Amino acid sequence: MSTMSQLTLTTAIAAVMAFGVTSCGVKTPTQSESQMLIQEIETGNVLLDKWTGPYGGVPPWDKADVSTMSASLSTGFDMARTEIAKIADNASAPNFDNTIVALEKSGAALNRVATVFFVHAGNLNKGEIPNILREMSPKFSQFNDEINQNPALFARVKTIYENMEELNTEQKRLVKNYYDGFVRQGATLNDEDKAAMSKINSRLATLTNSFGQNVLHDEESYITYIEDETGLSGLPDWLKTSMASAAKANDKEGQWAITNTRSSMDPFLTYSDNRAMREKVWNTYYNRGDNGDEWDNNAIITEILQLRDQRAKLLGYETHAHWKLENQMAKNPKNAIALMEKVWPHAIGRAKEEVAEMQAIADGEGVFIKIAPWDYRYYAEKVRKDKYDLDLNEVKPYMQMEKLREGMMWAAGEVYGFDFKLLEDVPVFHEDVRVWEVTNKAGDHIGLWYFDPYARTGKRSGAWMNAYRTQQKLDGKPTTVIVSNNSNFVKGNPGEPVLISWDDAETLFHEFGHALHGLNSKVTYPTLSGTAVSRDYVEFPSQIHERWLMTPEVLNNYAVHYETGEPIPQELVDKIKKASTFRQGFDTTEYLASALIDMKLHMAGGEPIDPDTFERETLEGLGMPSEIVMRHRTPHFNHIFSGGYHAGYYAYLWADSLSADASEAFVEAGGFYDKATAKSFHDNIMSVGNTIDTADGFRAFRGRDVKVDALMRDRGFADKE
């Protein structure tokens, strides 16, 4: 999963830095002082002007014209530059209100057009959008550098940072975040080094965009088709129906398609009896970005790594990883690696046990093969049936996407007091998107939740959360939240329920947890709002919400058979629980391999590398089982070469150690709907955004620091010091 937060602050600062600040101490300012600096101008451009309509204004998807986006973004940059110049050149002495609050309010027009544009880029990336991305990526980088390298602006922030005594805790944290962000982006460099850093940042913006576009190309271009029903052996009916729909969507009606995404590849490899076809699908998927053609990413990777290392050294850091982790919960690569290395031997040890069990079944069938990566899921499923008497095909009929969505909403009502009402009067960017109003038990408006569940051409793969508008109360009155969840389920035929896998259901709940993190926010300053916490903490709340799925209250009422309406049998639930640590060798190993490679790539220094060779030799050195590959091989590792998880993919494991420990607090209290525990979770985790140190927040909830023992128990690994 990943979150994609709304661009706050002056858009580019938050987009590239994701920092925030708030404080001062020179004098007590008047609120009107910053308002005089930042006065929004109506332009007559629907993409730039304040959102209108109900619910505090909504994104104007129905009026968004792609052909005007480039010009609108350029105008937004100019407007934001004018606002920044007014702040930097203000003749009044710097104080919290005329500098920090003014920065919080600046760039609003640019923020609005950028929000609409980037939602298009993630969900409707076709036509002119790729060209606009290519044009605008370096411009966002340039704008970010202009702000961070503005000496007058930094001098004002620095003065406030050095005089924070009279500020409250939230304001002090905001100011510190601003100050640290400026320093981390080169504000203290000399002019020559600033110019070098700007050149690096601009080139990185171009390269990371190209990387993502190349992966998207391979996902949309390399589709495997089956023309004859004999190629469908072993596949359950629901999968065949899904594959037929995918083929029809690609003008291949009468055939069956395995698209080049995880949601299509994974079930095919799990159930297909055709080993040669499994190998073909496996190779197609895991070779994304690595096909030696014009969309190959290896040269891009090498250059990105060199540039990131050069930038880190310009800023005085040992490596890019040291720079990246400085403001994360882990603090440094050593701590992150220590956690991964604690879990790694347990993961590969369990994987070897799993392979032995699978090999025994293959040998018993007389097929005379050695388990290969394209066999792992297929034979693991046979082991699941043999060892746990659990066939996930028996679970699938109870996993109706819409009923589970209702279950998520019910649970949010129980834990946070939220109610959800489907709306018909809000514009959307695609006909598949629906919108709910979120209110509390008193009927107060909290925000809007957009749901975009289905795959389509031009939509990036995976599942994620967006924030279109973050919570804040700068002017003393609340600005409500607009969030979305986006998935890639295959849309069924009209009137037919969409059935998803158990893993997909967990992901659905996980991403909804990110949305709830945004909806529960109760802070003053937008830069500190909602999910604007460190990467290795942001997954923690959402991982807690995954666990709602397994609660009896959700299963008994929302995991119901799509034909009979009967709840999932307790016997089947018991089997799921019993098999909860099944395949942890595979799941943990493929994830940790990616996380370790990410960290090692970003600690390798600036020498040019061959990514394929580095990946192969590093994994061999780690003792990677030959039957498993990285979850995200280096040439298509969007998280680290096109997203924000570079030197940060370890974050999922770090957060999982928090969520495993925190989950035991709920269990000890009687369950995930215990009112007192839920209130503490809300008060210390979900509502505070980035206004407090994350370790302090966890400590306030749990009563102590996190212990890794819960993580080891959760994964079924023997605890070993």
Is 433 strand, coil or helix?
coil
Q: Contact at 8 Å (CB) between 5 and 16?
A: no
User: Is residue 662 within 8 Å of residue 698, measured between CB atoms?
Assistant: yes
Helix (H, G, I), strand (E, B) or coil at 240: helix
Residue type at 200? I
CA 145/CA 196 separation, integer angstroms = 11
On whether the CB atoms of residues 275 and 375 are closer than 8 A, the answer is yes
CA distance readout (Å), 715 to 19, 337, 529, 706: 34, 19, 32, 16
d(CA 7, CA 284) in angstroms, rounded, equals 35
Which string of DSSP letters, residue by residue, matches 69-91? HHHHHHHHHHHHHHHHHHHHT-S
The SS3 call for residue 348 is helix
Q: Which candidate in 146, 511, 546, 627 is catalytic?
A: 511
Say if CB 381 and CB 392 are below 8 A apart.
yes
- The residue assigned the tokens 């619910």 is 55
Q: Is 170 annotated in the active site?
A: no
Spatial distance between the Cα atoms of 468 and 702, rounded to a whole number of angstroms: 32
Residues 6+ apart with CB under 8 A from 28: 95, 166
In angstroms, rounded to a whole number, what is the distance separating the alpha carbons of residues 611 and 588?
A: 22
Query: CB 424: neighbour CB atoms within 10 A?
Result: 6
113: Cβ contacts below 8 Å, ≥ 6 apart? 45, 47, 48, 69, 72, 73, 76
Cα separation of 94 and 34, whole Å?
11
Contact 105, 90 (CB under 8 A): no
Residue 3: enclosing H or E segment and its boundaries?
strand 2-4
Alpha helix segments (H runs only) across 520-610 = 535-546, 552-558, 570-578, 584-601
- Helix (H) or strand (E) holding 439, with range, is strand 434-439
**452, β-bridge pairs:** 486
Residue closest to 8 by CA, chosen among 467, 541, 486, 538: 467
The contacts of residue 466 (CB under 8 Å, 6+ apart) are: 3, 4, 5, 6, 119, 122, 450, 483, 484, 486
Active site residues: 511
